[in-house]
């Protein structure tokens, strides 16, 4: 949690992709038979779903050796998660090595600690889109650092697209100042033009 009394935010989900070296395509059925707690239904989805308890993460494993890791709270957890997965796969007598991990996306939720006039924000903030009949939040595509925000009239936000914790921190602070510079922030006692409580839940 970051809190400098102006705003708060916390990392909700870190998404990483992984590539490994394999001698031939992996037989995911072999892994599924070895571990009854994994999910594999190739008729519905080509990947095998594996879950790690500590650190908590969900891993999609494909026969090509590619993996997608979601659900982590810290990027630093990725090597531990991937190492655990490789050990489990290796126990199935499948040769797998040399993992390369790339953090693709960090999702954070936060609070700007003010209400936001979304109707006005949609007019004055470039790269924003607001269609309340479709979705109660405003979508704002920050250009630098490259991130995407969902902004709600309550001041709650969701930030996605950042690849490092530093980028997320920089983007949230920049947004905090932007809503005040554009005069769309409504401090306690003021009312935003649009009320909503239907914020999306991100896993």
E strand or H helix that includes residue 171: helix 165-181
pLDDT digits (tens, 9 = 90+) for 116-169: 999 999 999 999 999 999 999 999 999 999 999 999 999 999 999 999 999 999
Any idea which residue has 């494993």 for tokens?
61
**Is residue 72 within 8 Å of 57, Cβ to Cβ?**
yes
Q: Note whether residue 196 is domain-resident.
A: no
Compute the average pLDDT of residues 170-176: 97
Among candidate residues 105, 135, 165, the one where a domain is terminated: 105
Q: Note whether residue 151 is domain-resident.
A: yes
- pLDDT over 80 (residue 202): no
Q: What is the pLDDT of residue 69?
A: 98
Q: The whole model's pTM is what? A: 0.85
Same-domain pairing of 99 and 138:
no
CATH of the domain at 47: 3.30.310.10
Q: What is the pLDDT of residue 188?
A: 65
Q: For residue 67, what pLDDT band results from cuts at 50, 70 and 90?
A: very high
Spatial distance between the Cα atoms of 78 and 39, rounded to a whole number of angstroms: 21
Same-domain pairing of 19 and 95:
yes
- Mean pLDDT (the chain) is 91
Q: What is the pLDDT of residue 190?
A: 55
Percent of the chain with pLDDT over 90: 88
pLDDT digits (tens, 9 = 90+) for 18-36: 999 999 999 999 999 999 8
Q: For residue 96, what pLDDT band results from cuts at 50, 70 and 90?
A: very high
Spatial distance between the Cα atoms of 188 and 44, rounded to a whole number of angstroms: 49
Task: Identify the residue with better confidence: 201 or 81.
Answer: 81
Residue ranges making up the domain that contains 169: 112-186
Our CA angle for 200, 11, 16, nearest 5°, is: 95
**Is residue 107 within 8 Å of 11, Cβ to Cβ?**
yes
pLDDT digits (tens, 9 = 90+) for 186-196: 876 555 444 44
Spatial distance between the Cα atoms of 63 and 65, rounded to a whole number of angstroms: 5
Task: Identify the residue with better confidence: 167 or 2.
Answer: 167
Same-domain pairing of 86 and 123:
no
Same-domain pairing of 120 and 166:
yes
Please state, in angstroms and as integers, the Cα–Cα distance from residue 99 to each residue in 56, 77, 132, 141, 149, following that order. Answer: 19, 14, 43, 32, 31
CB atoms within 10 A of CB 106: 25
Q: Note whether residue 202 is domain-resident.
A: no
- pLDDT over 90 (residue 38): yes
Task: Identify the residue with better confidence: 198 or 173.
Answer: 173
DSSP tag of 188? B
Q: What is the pLDDT of residue 200?
A: 47
Q: Note whether residue 8 is domain-resident.
A: no
């Amino acid at each position: 949690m970051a809190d400098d009394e102006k705003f708060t935010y916390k990392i909700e989900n870190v998404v990483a992709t992984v590539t490994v070296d394999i001698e031939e395509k992996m037989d995911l059925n072999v892994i599924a038979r070895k571990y009854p707690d994994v999910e594999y239904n190739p008729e519905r989805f080509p990947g095998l779903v594996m879950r790690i308890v500590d650190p908590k993460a969900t891993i999609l494993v494909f026969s090509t050796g590619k993996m997608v890791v979601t659900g982590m709270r810290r990027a630093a957890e990725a090597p531990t998660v991937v190492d655990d997965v490789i050990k489990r796969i290796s126990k199935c007598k499948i040769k797998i090595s040399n993992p390369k991990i790339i953090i693709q996306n960090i999702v954070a939720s936060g609070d700007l600690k003010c209400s936001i006039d979304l109707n006005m924000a949609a007019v004055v903030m470039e790269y924003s889109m607001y269609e309340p009949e479709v979705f109660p939040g405003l979508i704002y595509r920050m250009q630098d650092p490259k991130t995407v925000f969902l902004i709600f009239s309550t001041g709650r936000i969701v930030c996605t697209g950042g690849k490092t914790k530093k980028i997320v921190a920089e983007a949230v602070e920049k947004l905090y100042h932007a809503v005040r510079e554009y005069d769309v922030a409504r401090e306690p006692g003021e009312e935003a033009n649009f009320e909503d409580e239907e914020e999306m839940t991100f896993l």
